Amino acid sequence: MTERNLVLLGPPGAGKGTQAERLVDDFGLPYYSTGNILRDAVENGTELGRKAKEFMDAGELVPDDLITNVIAERLDSGDADDGFLLDGFPRTIGQAEMLEGALGERNRKVTAALLIEAPDEEVVRRLSGRRQCVKNGHVYHVEFDPPKNEGVCDQDGSRLEQRDDDKPETVQKRLAVYHEQTEPLILWYGERGLLRRFDGTRTPEEVNSHIRATLATLALEDEI
Ligand SMILES: [Zn+2]
């Protein structure tokens, strides 16, 4: 069987989270985001988890090689034998090289880097319009999915507010970081013939079916 070793790339607000959920459902892949694999490692009290916790408790970034080792531990667990979906790592070329090394030691490789694209102005429009209810975190959008009464949650009547992450100036900063760090990575995967681009301004259904079609083609190429 063809492995689906997938890396998800794209700016915040392009719909990566939605597509990740669907890919996990469609193919039964384990989903590894930097946050969730580190959290699991800490909860499981593995040696790597304890090391990671020291950095997190000190408010420091967990070093790339430690994250790579945590991913490697998951690769060896048997859960990811048919593939995996990585989101949020790698984010830089250095991280991609470490991942390539860890996979190579296991005679594996990334099969595709899926880039979900959206122009900056669309990202700002999507994220800065989001509102979340203070009670249960129900999510609305002032333009695309407004509540019946402005500023009030339809489901529990609590107040809606904008998360700090979604404030326009914060979104601009997140985009600047994305462009600086991740665009070289996009080129890097492109040079290796692994990059597949998807138009994140299409509906989630369209993006999902495009991704599925692309993965089906890759699987066929692999068998030939
Ligand atoms: Zn609510």
List pLDDT tens digits, range 107-147: 999 999 999 999 999 999 999 999 999 999 999 999 999 99
How close is the Cα of 32 to the center of ligand 1, in Å? Answer: 28
Query: How many angstroms is it from 43 CA to the middle of ligand 1?
Result: 29
Distance 17 CA to ligand 1 centre (A): 20
pLDDT tens, 9-57? 999 889 999 999 999 999 999 999 988 999 999 999 989 999 999 999 9
Cα(67) to ligand 1 centroid in Å equals 35
Residues serving a catalytic function are 16, 91, 130, 163, 174
Given this model, what pLDDT does residue 220 score?
80
DSSP collapsed to 3 states, the chain: CCCEEEEEECCCCCCHHHHHHHHHHHHCCCEEEHHHHHHHHHHHCCHHHHHHHHHHHCCCCCCHHHHHHHHHHHHCCCCCCCEEEEECCCCCHHHHHHHHHHHHCCCCCCCEEEEEECCHHHHHHHHHCEEEECCCCCEEECCCECCCCCCECCCCCCEEECCHHHCHHHHHHHHHHHHHHHHHHHHHHHHCCCEEEEECCCCHHHHHHHHHHHHHHHHHHHHC
User: Does the reported pTM lie above 0.75?
Assistant: yes
